[in-house]
């Protein structure tokens, strides 16, 4: 467990962990803006911008793992907190797009 884990946060998944979990059925969610998503995104990712996440959470499955990512890791960290606060237990932060691709 990393330092963040001691304070209730989460250490980020590695690229190999992300790929394995997506291959096993995890849902990959890009929380960047639609323009950023259109400019390039991880294959198979869904775009649910962070600002839309509170009203679009019902689009995400609660029975599968959900992995969120963004450009730098700040928005994905916020998304992780929002989802956990709404009862999502199988949610992970991949951090930046570069960690996913």
Catalytic residue positions?
70
Alpha helices in the chain (DSSP H): 3-6, 15-23, 34-39, 53-56, 74-85, 97-100
Whole-angstrom distance, CA of residue 43 vs CA of residue 61: 19
């Amino acid at each position: 467990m990393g330092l963040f884990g001691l304070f209730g946060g989460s250490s980020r998944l590695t690229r190999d962990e992300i790929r394995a979990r997506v291959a096993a059925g995890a849902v990959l969610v890009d929380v960047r803006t639609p323009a950023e998503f259109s400019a390039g995104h991880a294959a198979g990712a869904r775009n649910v911008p962070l600002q839309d996440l509170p009203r679009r959470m019902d689009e995400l499955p609660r029975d599968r793992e959900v992995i969120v990512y963004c450009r730098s890791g700040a928005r994905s960290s916020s998304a992780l907190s929002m989802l956990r606060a709404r009862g999502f237990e199988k949610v992970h932060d991949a951090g930046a797009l570069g960690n996913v691709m």
